[in-house]
Amino acid sequence: MGRLFGTDGVRGVANVELTAELALGLSCAAARVLSTPGAEARRPVAVVGRDPRASGEFLEAAVVAGLASAGVDVLRLGVLPTPAVAHLTGALGADFGVMLSASHNPMPDNGIKFFARGGLKLADELEDRIEAVYRDLAEGKPWDRPTGAGVGRVTDHASGLDTYVSHLMGVLPDRLDGLKLVVDGAHGAASRVAPEAFARAGAEVISIGADPDGLNINDGHGSTHLGPLRAAVLEYGADLGIAVDGDADRCLAVDAAGEVVDGDQILAVLALALRERGRLRHDTVVATVMSNLGFKLALEAEGLTLRQTAVGDRYVMEEMKAGGFALGGEQSGHVIVLDHATTGDGTLTGLLLAARVAATGRTLADLAGVMRRLPQVLVNVSGVDKSRAATSPELAAAVVDAEQELGETGRVLLRPSGTEPLVRVMVEAADAEQAAAVAERLADVVRSELSLELPATAS
């Protein structure tokens, strides 16, 4: 059996890979690893939230049962965004938190994510310990089950939404009075929270993608499907549009002309806003290697530094904590403002972006213009031996030639896929035709040098 935890919790098709039995066992294991019995007079407490997927209903029941059977008192939050569950884990003084969501994945998927005390994502070591205990339980090894008054109690915590929205209002630097905006909730966990937060902040809100039925999460709406948001912004003459994903840890935006403002551009706008308020520690932003080169050039032009990590928000967070940085994120819109959140928060990101528009009186298009996105071409080369990508001298030489051709205004990135026999070739250049030509040339080298076909033998 392989490792259960991936880069962001345990995910799979609900009732296939992610079963009620797995959810129950993982919750029992997490209770034993993340609880601190004897450290306080009370029993351990956990908060549990979920997105509106239909499968979240039976998975929530399994998780709550597992926790209570292990002697943990459960505060059931209902449908709330992932960042809200993280915030409430800390705000309510819980020992740990559990979120049931597969984020931007399609409806049949679901996932279980655990937060440690304070709302922080688990370190690899804690995930490994939970897996080890889970495997012991699955093998039938005995454990000290509480009985009688020792079992956990389950309580519905109805005020979670209001607590979370009040937190957002408390950290918002400027009100949004006078702004008209469209909010797309992806028929997901923020369908109530996001429109409520923007309205409380003073904006005129047109809400779309806010009718979850358990089956339509991320279906044609949200940050992975921006068409409806662009159309609504133009139809209503809005100043901007904000789209989150299914669990609302991501945010992308649309300006008044319907043009997309991606995560790199949002980070650039927020970086300048934080620096202006003296909150951009070390004048540094953290992002992944997939960020557009135009983002790096824009920061350098403003006298700011970019620190880059491997792809994945957990690596961004690790670098932020290690260096004491305040802002980081990904091109996909996963933005972390560490002074106000312990994970990416799409609603918070959208509020801060809209607040910058309101405070400056400038349009979002004007603000996002601080960064010019360079043309980026991505070619997936399949059917190759990706394990040789890092050791092929011919491929290394081709990359060097391409980098010399592109100069300071271009970039090459080769990434073997983690799950498929393919290599991703990404090229950025000031000119789109040049980027496409260089990418295809490198892709041809990958095909010829890393081919899985055996050479023909002489007869």
Residues β-bridged to residue 413: 426
Q: What pLDDT score does 170 carry?
A: 97
Boundary (domain end) residue, out of 128, 158, 188 = 158
Whether 14 and 108 map to the same domain: the answer is yes
Whether residues 306 and 176 fall in one domain: yes
Catalytic residue among 103, 223, 291, 332: 103
Residue 26 is assigned to a structural domain of this protein: yes
Kindly give the confidence (pLDDT) of every residue in the chain, 459 residues in length, as a single tens digit, with 9 standing for 90 and above. Answer: 578 998 789 999 999 999 999 999 999 999 999 987 554 567 999 999 999 999 999 999 999 999 999 999 999 999 999 999 999 999 999 999 999 999 999 999 999 999 999 999 998 899 999 999 999 999 999 998 999 999 999 999 999 999 999 999 999 999 999 999 999 999 999 999 999 999 999 999 999 999 999 999 999 999 999 999 999 999 999 999 999 999 999 999 999 999 999 999 999 999 999 999 999 999 999 999 889 999 999 999 999 999 999 888 889 999 999 999 999 999 999 999 999 999 999 999 999 999 999 999 999 999 999 999 999 899 999 988 888 888 899 999 999 999 999 988 899 998 887 666 789 999 999 889 999 999 999 999 999 898 876 444 443
Instruction: Determine, yes or no, domain membership for 276.
Output: yes
- 67 Cβ contact list (under 8 Å, min separation 6): 27, 28, 30, 31, 46, 48, 74, 98, 152
State whether residue 374 is helix, strand or coil.
Answer: coil
Tell me the residue range of the domain where 341 lies. Answer: 162-368
Detail the DSSP E strand segments found in 290-449: 305-309, 327-329, 335-337, 376-382, 411-416, 422-428
Task: Give the contacts of 316 (CB within 8 A, at least 6 positions apart).
Answer: 286, 287, 288, 309, 328, 329, 330, 334, 336
Let me know if residue 410 belongs to a domain.
Answer: yes
Do 329 and 383 reside in the same domain of the chain?
Answer: no
395 lies in the same domain as 254: no
* Number of structural domains found in the chain: 3
Query: Does some domain include residue 455?
Result: no
> In the block, which residue shows the tokens 């369908």?
191
Report yes or no on 353 lying in a domain. yes
The answer to whether position 58 is within a domain reads yes
pLDDT of residue 458: 42
Residues 316 and 262 both lie in one domain: yes
Do residues 121 and 90 make contact, with C-beta atoms less than 8 angstroms apart? no
DSSP 454: P
Domain boundary among 91, 126, 158: 158
CATH number of the domain to which 397 belongs: 3.30.310.50
Q: Are residue 342 and residue 414 in the same domain, yes or no?
A: no
Q: Residues 90, 176: one domain? A: no
Q: Are residues 324 and 384 part of one domain? A: no
Diameter of the chain measured on Cα atoms: 81
Question: Whats the size of the chain, residue-wise?
Answer: 459
Q: Radius of gyration over alpha carbons of the chain, in Å?
A: 23
Q: For residue 81, which amino acid is it?
A: P
* 384/417 same-domain check: yes
Beta bridge partners of 335: 329
Question: Is 457 within a domain?
Answer: no
Within a domain: 458: no
- pTM, two decimals, is 0.90
Whether 359 and 388 share a structural domain: no
35 and 145 in one domain?
A: yes
Boundary residue ending a domain (158, 189, 221)? 158
The neighbouring-strand residues paired with 99 are: 49, 113
Q: Which two tokens stand for residue 11?
A: 């995910």
What Å distances lie between residue 344 and 207, 264, 325, 334, CA to CA? 22, 14, 14, 5
Instruction: Kindly give the pairing relationship between strand 411-416 and strand 335-337.
Output: unpaired
How far apart are the C-alpha atoms of 376 and 390, rounded to whole Å?
22
Give the helix, strand, coil percentages of the chain, each rounded to 5.
40, 20, 40
How many Cβ atoms from other residues are within 10 Å of residue 404's Cβ?
A: 9
Asked if 364 and 374 touch (Cβ cutoff 8 Å), the reply is no
Indicate which CATH number applies to the domain containing 174: 3.40.120.10
103 is catalytic: yes
Binding site, annotated residues for Mg(2+): 103, 245, 247, 249
Residues 46 and 186 in one domain: no
In this predicted structure, what is the pLDDT of residue 210? 98
Pairing of strands 411-416, 109-116: unpaired
Task: Give the full edge-to-edge strand order of the sheet including 376-382.
Answer: 376-382, 422-428, 411-416
Query: Which is it for strands 73-79 and 284-288: parallel, antiparallel or unpaired?
Result: unpaired
